[in-house]
Amino acid sequence: MHTLPGEAAELARVIAARTADPAVVRVICPPFVALAAVRDALAGSGVEVGAQNIHHELAGAYTGEVSAPMVASLAAWTIVGHSERRRDAGETDDLIGRKVRRAREAGLRIILCVGERLEEREAGRASEVVAGQLRGCLGDLEAEALADVAEDELPWLTIAYEPVWAIGTGRNAQGSDAAAMADVIRETLRSIGFGGRADFVPVLYGGSVTAANIGEFLAEPSIDGALVGGASLKPDEMAGIVGRAGVTAAARLAVIP
């Protein structure tokens, strides 16, 4: 919850100019009130626009809420299930799953957030919690929703792993932590019907990402990018993050036969 529309537009323009790399998918998700301004500012830049949230119904008497079709008129992506929504708004897996379906119906690409709290990790339940979140949010999707694209492409879904215990707590996650959870995420997706497509679902790391630590996470082959929070307000940080992603993308493309 930062920036007025004009400020958001200028910040988006600067970030787009500082992060131009055709090998890296870049999406900026401003507050709702800045979506139109950011969309206009990014026209022709190659940077896409997303919302930070949507409502779980397509329309109705839900004063103050924003629906997926409303967002789809301004953006191509939406985040759902962010840890702060789960914490502050009490969002459940069932509710988030309804948001996933509304986003699908509106043609939005989805960044679905999952992640365990500190007490859950310390209790040895991290994998169980994340797998349960995925099943709760995606487990009842119709087969058609999983089979409407080629085996090597699932463009509507990205998973962001947010270790809640490593966000603003002073405790740091390691690349190995994120990689292990990426394996859990893909195995769970396979088990609920994604099959071989699970291997092509991008998995992002989203735990206090900075230019200084992103390299550790992108060094893991199972991590495909980052969900950036506070660092997105700093163009220098974004330039460093996307620059490292570009190096990683070039290295990975170089080894594809």
Active-site residues: which are they? Answer: 82, 162
| Among 179, 201, 181, 198, residue whose Cα is nearest residue 190 | 198
**Residue 47 neighbours by CB under 8 Å, 6+ apart:** 12, 15, 16, 19, 26, 27, 28
Query: How far apart are alpha carbons 21 and 256 in whole angstroms?
Result: 19
Query: Mapping DSSP to helix (H, G, I), strand (E, B) and coil, where does residue 8 land?
Result: helix
Are the C-beta atoms of 170 and 178 separated by less than 8 Å? no
| Among 231, 183, 186, residue whose Cα is nearest residue 206 | 231
- Element spanning 12, H or E: helix 5-18
What ranges in 80-234 are assigned the alpha helix state H? 83-88, 93-106, 118-122, 126-138, 143-146, 175-189, 214-218
Query: What are the φ and ψ backbone dihedral angles of 26, each rounded to 5 degrees?
Result: -120, 130
**Residue 158 neighbours by CB under 8 Å, 6+ apart:** 109, 110, 111, 112, 201, 202, 203, 204
